[in-house]
Amino acid sequence: MKNLFRTSLLLIIWLAASASALDRIWDTRYTFGPEFLVRDRTSLGAGFYTNYQEDGYLPINAQLAINDFWEVGAKLLFDSEDDMESVQSYVDVGAKYRIMEYSTIGADFLIGIGNKRGAGLVFSYTSLHPMSRIFSTLYEARLGFFDRIVSDGGLAEFALGVTPQFKFTPALIAMIGIESSGSLGNILDDFMVDIVPRVQIGILPYFHVMTELSIGIMQEKNNDRMRLGAYGIIEF
pLDDT interval class at 9 (50, 70, 90): very low
Q: pTM for the whole thing?
A: 0.84
Domain boundaries, the chain: 2-235
pLDDT interval class at 79 (50, 70, 90): confident
Task: Fold for 2-235, please state it.
Answer: Porin (2.40.160)
Q: Other C-beta atoms within 10 Å of 163: how many?
A: 22
% of residues, the chain, pLDDT over 70: 83
Q: For the residues of the chain, what is the DSSP string, one character each?
A: -HHHHHHHHHHHHHHHHH-----HHHH-SSSSS-----TT-EEEEEEEEE-SSS-EEEEEEEEEE-SSSEEEEEEEEEEEETTTTEEEEEEEEEEEEEEETTEEEEEEEEEEESS-S-EEEEEEEEEEEE-SSSEEEEEEEEEEESTTTSPTT-SEEEEEEEEEEEEEETTEEEEEEEEEEEEET-HHHH-EEEEEEEEEEEEETTEEEEEEEEEE-S-HHHH--EEEEEEEEEE-
pLDDT interval class at 225 (50, 70, 90): low
Contact assessment for residue 148 and residue 92, using Cβ atoms and an 8 Å cutoff? no
As a whole number of angstroms, the distance between CA 108 and CA 94 comes to 4
pLDDT interval class at 7 (50, 70, 90): very low
Contact assessment for residue 39 and residue 68, using Cβ atoms and an 8 Å cutoff? yes
Among 4-13, 21-30, 45-54, 193-202, the range with the most confident prediction by mean pLDDT is: 193-202
